[in-house]
Structure 1
Amino acid sequence: MTITVRAAAKFNLHLGVGPVREDGFHPLATVYHAIGLYDDVTVSEAGRWEVALTAEDHIALGEVPTGDDNIVVRAGRLLTGHHGIDRTARIEIHKGIPVAGGLAGGSADAAATLVALDRLWSLETSDEDLLALAGQLGSDVPFALIGATAVGGGRGEIVEPVADNGAWWWVAVGNEQGLSTPSVYRAFDELAGAEVSDPQVPERLLMALEKGDPELLAEALTNDLQAPALELRPDLAQTFADGEEAGALAVQLSGSGPTILMLCRDAAHAREVARAMQARAYDRVWTAPGPVAGAHVVSY
Structure 2
Amino acid sequence: MTSVGSPTVVHTRAPGKINVFLAVGDLQDDGYHELATAYQAVSLYEDVRAHAANDFTVRFTSSQAGIDLSGVPTDDSNLAIKAARLLAETTGYDGGVSLSIDKNVPVAGGMGGGSADAAATLLACDILWNTGLSRDELLRLGAKLGADVPFALMGGTAVGTGRGDELSPALAQGTFQWVLALADYGLSTPEVYSELDQHRLRHQGEITTVRQPRVDSGVLQALRAGDPARLADVMYNDLQAPALHLEPGLGEVLELGEQNGALAGVVSGSGPTVAFLAPDLDGALELQIALSAARLDVVRATGPVHGARLIAD
Query: C-alpha separation between the residues in 1 aligned to 2:193 and 2:294?
Result: 30
Q: Which residue of 2 aligns with 1:161?
A: 169
Q: Which residue of 2 aligns with 1:296?
A: 309
Aligned with 1:151 (options 137, 156, 159): 159
1:52-90 deviations in Å (ceiling 9; x for gaps): 111114111011111222111111111111111211010
Matched, 1:253 2:267: yes
Query: C-alpha separation between the residues in 2 aligned to 1:191 and 1:96?
Result: 32
Root-mean-square deviation (CA, aligned residues, Å) is: 1.0
Matched, 1:142 2:155: no
Asked if structure 2 preserves the Cα contact closer than 8 Å seen for 1:8 and 1:293, the reply is yes
Query: C-alpha separation between the residues in 2 aligned to 1:33 and 1:69?
Result: 27
1:125-175 deviations in Å (ceiling 9; x for gaps): 011111110000000000000000000011111111111113101000011
Matched, 1:210 2:237: no
Aligned with 1:264 (options 265, 278, 283): 278
Letter of the 2:37 counterpart? T
Shift of 1:270: 0.8
Shift of 1:176: 0.9
**Which 4+ residue blocks in structure 1 deviate beyond 6 angstroms?**
none
Q: Which residue of 2 aligns with 1:278?
A: 292
Asked if structure 2 preserves the Cα contact closer than 8 Å seen for 1:63 and 1:100, the reply is no
Letter of the 2:275 counterpart? L
SS in 2 for 1:297: strand
Query: C-alpha separation between the residues in 2 aligned to 1:235 and 1:85?
Result: 48
1:25-69 deviations in Å (ceiling 9; x for gaps): 000000111000011000011121111111114111011111222
Query: C-alpha separation between the residues in 2 aligned to 1:232 and 1:290?
Result: 28
Shift of 1:192: 2.1
Q: Which residue of 2 aligns with 1:75?
A: 83
Structure 2: which 5+ runs fail to align?
1-7
Structure 1: which 5+ runs fail to align?
none
Query: C-alpha separation between the residues in 2 aligned to 1:48 and 1:279?
Result: 46
SS in 1 for 2:48: strand
Aligned with 1:93 (options 101, 105, 108): 101
Q: How does 1:159-198 map onto structure 2 within 5 Å?
A: 159-193=167-201, 195-197=208-210, 198=212
Query: C-alpha separation between the residues in 2 aligned to 1:216 and 1:47?
Result: 52
Query: C-alpha separation between the residues in 2 aligned to 1:57 and 1:85?
Result: 34
Letter of the 1:255 counterpart? G
Shift of 1:227: 1.0
Matched, 1:61 2:74: no
Q: Which residue of 2 aligns with 1:128?
A: 136
Query: C-alpha separation between the residues in 1 aligned to 2:187 and 2:115?
Result: 17
Q: Which residue of 2 aligns with 1:232?
A: 246
Q: How does 1:7-18 map onto structure 2 within 5 Å?
A: 7-18=14-25
Shift of 1:177: 2.1
Q: Across the two proteins, how many residue pairs are aligned to each other?
A: 299
SS in 2 for 1:18: strand
Q: Which residue of 2 aligns with 1:6?
A: 13
Letter of the 2:35 counterpart? L
Query: C-alpha separation between the residues in 2 aligned to 1:25 and 1:99?
Result: 23
Instruction: Report the identity percentage.
Output: 45
Asked if structure 1 preserves the Cα contact closer than 8 Å seen for 2:35 and 2:161, the reply is yes
Q: Which residue of 2 aligns with 1:30?
A: 37
Shift of 1:190: 1.9
SS in 1 for 2:141: helix
Letter of the 2:310 counterpart? V
Shift of 1:185: 1.0
- Answer with 175-184 or 98-107: which moved more: 175-184
Asked if structure 2 preserves the Cα contact closer than 8 Å seen for 1:56 and 1:94, the reply is yes
SS in 1 for 2:168: strand
